[in-house]
Amino acid sequence: MSIVVTGATGHLGRLVVEQLLEQVPAGEITAVVRDEAKGADLAARGVRVAVADYNAPETFDGLLAPGDKVLLISGNEIAKDRAVQHQVVIDAAKAAGVALLAYTSAPGTLNVRLTDPHRATEKALLASGLPYSLLRNGWYHENYTENLAPVLAHDAVVAAAGDGRVSSAARADYAAAAVAVLTGEGHENTTYELGGDEAWGFAEYAAELSRATGREIVYRSVSVPELEAILTGAGLPEALVTVFAEVDQAIERGDLVVSGGELSRLIGRPTTPLAVAVEAALKD
């Protein structure tokens, strides 16, 4: 039996593997990667590294085994049919008879086109008959703190989210939730709505950046057309402009407020405050 993590050298996948290494022997972990070289450091630590690609179903032949617990980390190629990619792993997991297939999905409250592949994957996973766990990850702090350059260049947080709020958490928090499910018991056929303990608005985010930098950073609330014009002018492709605009509208509706505290209960500690993520980003 192995704990298998797909996308293991991505931002989330690497955190999951690192946290697994703190709890289980390296030989019990399989890191699935597209580029073997990127997993060389994990192989050096005793992790089994397997090369496979969501776009090449044959690469998953024989990769999984009966009794494995698998974390399917959703693909990030917006131009691809991600539900079709994910089906490759579901089919391989079913053929192997794995003990659990956990999937990193999106909040059930979030209603934008970006979530369509997640809903399709959830439907396929439930239809497969496999023991499953849906990890409906809310927004990451890093969605904002890893993109501070334009904010600091203009001393302004720009969004079309009005007074909407976001229950974000650190990427490491969501990784810890996945590890809890992969290493714990009783997580079969579960759905977890995951988000940070404290929801925040963009005015508060601007105020936190002001405090951390010692500069006056304001929240500039704009209309959706204004946001689209700004992003297009910055050179973003049309598909991404649409995604960002739809997400901001969803935030204004309240779609990204995740209540219930399931993330902190699952990981056994409070989620990482936004202020901590801001401080870390400014040090990088």
Each residue of 102-141: pLDDT tens digit?
999 999 999 999 999 999 999 999 999 999 999 999 999 9
Task: Specify the CATH superfamily of domain 3-138+171-194+259-268.
Answer: NAD(P)-binding Rossmann-like Domain (3.40.50.720)
- What's the whole-model pTM score? 0.96
Name residues whose C-beta falls within 8 Å of residue 22's C-beta, 6 or more positions apart in sequence. none
Q: Note the pLDDT of residue 77.
A: 74
Amino acid (one-letter) located at 146? E
Q: Write the pLDDT tens digit of every residue in 161-208.
A: 999 999 999 999 999 999 999 999 999 999 999 999 999 999 999 999
- Domains of the chain by residue range: 3-138+171-194+259-268
Given this model, what pLDDT does residue 80 score?
66
Burial class (CB in 10 A: 0-12, 13-18, 19+), 78: middle
The CA angle 262-268-270, to the nearest 5 degrees, is 75
Burial class (CB in 10 A: 0-12, 13-18, 19+), 128: middle
Phi/psi for 141 (5° steps) reads -50, -40
Note the pLDDT tens digit of each residue in 70-101.
999 998 776 668 999 999 999 999 999 999 99
